[in-house]
A = this chain, B = another copy of it.
Amino acid sequence: MNPATREIADDAATEASDALALTESISALSTGTFLTVHGTLKHDERVKLGGTEIKIGSLDIAAAADPETPIASDSGMDKRMDWRFIDLRQRRNNLIFRVQTTLEHAMRTYWVDRDYIELHTPKLMSSPSESNAELFSMEYFGDQTAYLAQSPQHYKQMAQASGFGKIFEIGDVFRADPSFTSRHATEFTSVDAEISWIDSHEDVAAMQEELLATAIAAVKEKHGAEIAELFGIEVTVPSLPFPRIPLAEAHDIIAARGYQTPRTDGDLDPEGERQISAHVAETFGHQFVFITDYHAGIRPFYHMRDEKTGLTKSYDLLFQGVEITTGAQREHRIDVLEAQAVEKGLALEGLEHYLDFFRYGVPPHGGFGMGLARVLMLLLGESSIREVTFLFRGPTRLAP
């Protein structure tokens, strides 16, 4: 061989040995290894993922992974929760949180564009925010007891007494709820809004339906195709207004469908909620429905009551058969509010700080609270809020 030919042959041999070394080091890699690839991008029609192929020049391994992965994508839910950080590597799980990001940002942008103030209300409180049930408590600097907020209810109303006018908060709330259903957690993200100078709960409902339609449209626009691919779901942007059905009428409709709710307090049970939503889907082609005019017996003392009917000026919002929200006009007249608390058997002393908010003037106001995970679960057709919560917390789940 002449020197030039020998050089080419040597180069070829080196290249072949480099390629072999590279192949061996790739074969040795475990799933989950993070690495940087240097190379050339080549177009090749036969290759999937957009018809591009990488001709690898070199590999830098940033972190090698333990070859024994503790879960697979088809592991049981509890096992997957134990190793949630690996479970979240699945493309569909990654998409869930990108959808959540878009949904939240669209909601906040809707509010900010309309001059709402964003609040961060305290989660440590000296008295319960809702009831004495399902309450986490702890020792606080010796002799004090702190409770974890069950909702921002007190404080978003306080902001109305402060003249804030329109507020929202997306934040954590805590419920010492011993239940194990697919819809309950001991810690979850609550989406809350409260607005002043309303005439009734209808003003709150009108804001919420517009908010949801805006946010779901943003999700469809940004992730619609990927949701269809990974979840097999065609996102539907709801039309406005959402249907409204008074509770009494809802009971008649459900009864006509042949379902009798086992509850004796007049509220809908989960199957009743599914039935009325099925009716709405069949009749109006709509995934949402506001159930209105709940009687006072099944509503908290702070819901305002209609002067003529005595029914509360409140609603529940159902999405695909599941309750995602309670909304209401609040009673802002201190004398009426105290009377309603007493009627419910509550001790006014325990409500002292809350009741104070109403003694120095507060405009008529109302708002809603909405479970973020429930909305996501239903939007993506998932079976449990566990699947759409970054790290679920329940009675037997505090880790990782």
Contacts and interface: CB of A to CB of B under 8 A. Distances in A.
Q: Counting chain B CB atoms within 10 Å of each CB, which of A127, A155, A164, A333 scores highest?
A: A164
A393 interface: yes
A32 interface: yes
Interface residues on A, range: 35 or more
Q: Counting chain B CB atoms within 10 Å of each CB, which of A123, A360, A395 scores highest?
A: A360
Nearest to A118: B101
B178 A125 contact: no
A354 B399 CA distance: 10
Contact of A363 (B62, B122, B155, B396): B62
Interface stretch (A50-58, A92-100, A209-217, A285-293): A92-100
B390 A119 contact: yes
A68 to B, nearest CB: 9
A226 interface: no
* Chain copies in the assembled complex: 2
A391 interface: yes
A301 interface: no
Interface in A82-99: 83-86, 88-89, 93-94, 97-98
A120 interface: yes
Interface in A131-163: 136-141, 144, 146, 154-155, 158-159, 161-163
Contact of A34 (B32, B363, B400): B363
A100 B121 CA distance: 13
A174 interface: yes
Nearest to A136: B138
Contact of A63 (B63, B98, B100, B361): B361
A64 interface: yes
A361 B125 contact: no
Contacts of A368: none
Interface of A: 30, 32-34, 36, 62-66, 69, 83-86, 88-89, 93-94, 97-98, 100-102, 104-105, 108-109, 112, 116-127, 136-141, 144, 146, 154-155, 158-159, 161-164, 171-172, 174, 176, 178, 186-187, 189, 197, 332-333, 353-354, 356-364, 372, 390-391, 393, 395-396, 398-400
Given A94-B163, A123-B174, 6 more contacts: A85-B162, A86-B161, A88-B163, A89-B163, A102-B112, A354-B400
